Structure formats: structure tokens, C-alpha cells
Structure 1
Amino acid sequence: MRIDVLTLFPEMFEGVFGASIIGKAREKGIVELNTVNFRDYANNKHNTVDDYPYGGGSGMVLKPEPIFAAVEDLIRPDEPRPRIILMCPQGETFTQRKAEELAAERRLVFICGHYEGYDERIREHLVTDELSIGDYVLTGGELPAMVVIDAVVRLLPGVLGNESSAWADSFQAGLLEYPQYTRPASFRGWDVPEVLLSGHHGRIEEWRRRQSLLRTLRRRPDLLEQADLTPEEQRFIEEERRRMASESLSGRETERDRGQ
């Protein structure tokens, strides 16, 4: 895969692209990472890439010319048009499913903005995707682009030492990951669940699946609406919901009694 990033601050990516899993993937030749300062494509003597918005208002808006020119310089006329991704608060919320979709591509181009936004013609006539990493605003698109790139690159074949690692992660199967333990088996009186020490792989897998369901129910119940559950797992979830509701009611009654 080749990934190009259009940014006014290419130096921000040096540490991320050169370290840890992404750095190793780059060394292996699994992914090619390239940053482009689109200020180099400004068509004026002051190299300005932003201007005041038509109609008035606060802040500055990124001009279309430098960004169009930078993207067009990256893509040869005879090659397929890659996915061109605009990082912005108005975009589709980034998810693990989107990471899987992008990991299947051969080439990605990210555009990182600053200031008050982009000229609308960039959205309408250049990009293929608009992505957001959450309902909050950052100073620019660089950090969100790093998040998306990290999530995508780790899914590429050969990047992780254990190919099954990525598929056991939270959100990969639509559920949160089960609890993990390692040595020592007992720490400060807190013991590892006995089933994990049994060596019985079937029981271990069953325990992990149930723990994954419970953790998702307690922390992200919205994910269960899209999860692929067996009838037995659906009954298990409903029983846990009733038990949790009963415990919650009992707790409220205890607090009310204490207040009296």
C-alpha cells in the first residue's frame, strides 16, 4: 500500500511514521508513506494557502488551488484514482469496519486541513471520503490522519507478528475484547480466572466469548444491535440485562431506605 498525506506540517509525521508497528511495516516495504506540504503548490508569491470566506465570517478557509494541484501531481493520468480522504469534523465517524475497508485499497491520499475549513469545491469535486475520529474539534487534521493510518496499516498482511492478533481486537467482530491476563497467576491476592489455567481450549474460548458479550453489554450495549449472535447468546444477553436491571432497582431501593 502507498499512503500520501497532504499537510502543512509534514514534520508532525516523522515520529509516527518511523517508530513502532508503522515504522517496521515501512522498513519491510509493506507500506510506503509519503508526506506532501501543499504550501509548495500555492500559486502566489507569498505561498498563502488560505483566504477570507466569501460572505464574511471569522477565520480563514483553505483555498482549492494548492490542494487540487498537489493531488493531481501525485496521481498519474494513466493510473486508477485512489481513495482521497478529507479529515474533518463533518465527516463519517471512523470505525473498525471502515479501517478494514480502507486496508483493502492499494493507495490512499489523506488531506489534513487547518483554520476554519475547506473551500466547498474540495469536498464536491476532489475527495472520495470524509472522515472524523469523533465529535470534537482539533487544531488540524494531522492527528486524526495518524489515527486512521495506524488503524489501517496494522491490518495489512505481514504487519503484525501474530496475524490473529488484529482479528481478536475490540470492534473487530462487533464486540469489545474479553479480559486478558498474564503471569503471575496470583498478584496481591487477585487471581487469574481458573478456566484460563485449565488448558481446556474449548472452555477457554467459551469463557472468552461470554466475557466479550458481558463487557460489550456493560460498556457499549449499542454494539450488540449489529453483532452476529447465536440464539443461545441472545438469551444469555437478555438474562444478563434482566439481572442488571434487578440489581440496579435493588440498589436504588437500598439508597432510598438509607435516606429514610
Structure 2
Amino acid sequence: MIKRRKTKTVKVGSVKIGSRAPVVIQSMTKVPTVDIARCVRQINQLARAGCRLVRLAVPRRADTEAFAQIVQKVDVPLIADVHFSADRAVEAIEAGAAKIRLNPGNIKNRKDILRIIDAAKKHKTAIRVGVNEASIRDLRKEAVPVEKRTALMLREMKRYIRLFESRDFGLLVLSAKSSDVARTIEINRAISETFDYPIHLGLTHAGLPEDARIPSAVALGALLAEGIGDTIRVSAAGNPIVEVGIAKQILISLGLYKRSSPELI
């Protein structure tokens, strides 16, 4: 039996994330957020397949307006990916997002970050701090040697989290992603040794399902086998139902999958 590393528990809507809860599968809609009917249909399909959290992209004001309506039409807790905008983050929180995803490489202004934190604290909205290798490279003017990228990702994560802790905000989930399997494993090990917040696992740019399956199984499987990882997403092009199926197979192979309700197989 795999021994999970101990973490805090973070509640995302009705779903608990952390070492005292089963590993949670999440996915992302692949239709425009402003297309409310199609979004609702896809979210419900994902839920029936075993997905317990769904992320939607909200880069525009029209998206957060649609998001507010979608929240009212589904039972699955929704996550807002706000891209580069602090305004979208606050709008999504006020629209009922159970969690938002922030990339330190995208939203860097201290006042903007604190404004988001204060809104999230008021509404009890969780926040995923998601660092990725590409963003860290973009933050630097000079080329970053491969061997230094993990340290830079961890440093940026620490810097960002200090702001949250300065506001006594603890509803955090952490993630650090790369398209490289070995580096994904390395940075998540480092994060698990440094923080006791839940960790979301995934690879960036995993490609088509047939290309995403093996790298995701290797990276996520290795970390989960070490007890690292509290929520996962297999990122693949095309139908997101396929993502959920691959994620489910990874968890089943490790004895970590527990059905919470009847699912479509």
C-alpha cells in the first residue's frame, strides 16, 4: 500500500484535496466558455466519467460572465484559469469559482496578487499556484541552463507563497509542471519536501492521447508511488473524457482509485 505524504486539507467546493482524501481527477473543458450550453454538457459528461473538478478558461470579461451562469447549472466544483488578468481572477471569485489557478509567470504585480488573495479569502475560494518551466524561462532575460530550472521554479514558488502567508491565506494547492518527465518528478519532489500544501500533478504539452499516455503514466505514476500528489490531470489534445480515462488508469494501477458515485465506463 502506498503511504501518502501528509498534507493540509483544502476544500474546493464540495471536494476535499489532501492526504486524508482520495486522489482527485480533474480535467478542463475544450469548448469556449461563452458557449454556456456546450460547457455545461461537457462538464456533466466529465463528471459522469469520474472527473471531480473541472477547469474553464476565463481570459475575457465575457468568459467570467458566462462562468457565473455555468456555476449555477452544474454540481461539479469549477476552477477558473484566469491567464494574465487580475481583474478576471477577482471576477471569477465573485462569480462562484471554487478555485482559481494563478501562474506566477503571468500575474507578477504585488498589488494585483494581494487584491486576488483578499477576494479569495473573503469568498473562501481556493487558489492553485501553478508554476511552469516555460514561464520561469520567460521571466529571465538570459538563457537558463537546464540544471538550474528546478531551483528557479522552487524559488519563484516560495516568493509567491510568502505573499499568501503574509495575508494568512492557507487555501492553497501547488503545482509545478514541465514537458520533461524527469524535471517534473524532480521539482515535485522538491515542493513536497518544502511545503505541506496539497500538490496537483500534471505535464505540460503532453500532446495527443496516444502521445500523452506514457509520459503522463511515468511522471505521475512515479510521484504517486512515492506518496506525492493529491489531484491529477492528464493533459491531452482532443476529447477531455480521454484525459479522465488515462488518469483513472494510472490511479487504478497504483491502487489509489476510489469511485465516489456511479460512473460511465
The one of the two structures with greater contact order (alpha-carbon pairs below 8 A, sep at least 6) is 2
Q: TM-score, normalised by structure 2?
A: 0.27
Q: TM-score, normalised by structure 1?
A: 0.27
User: Higher Cα Rg: structure 1 or 2?
Assistant: 1
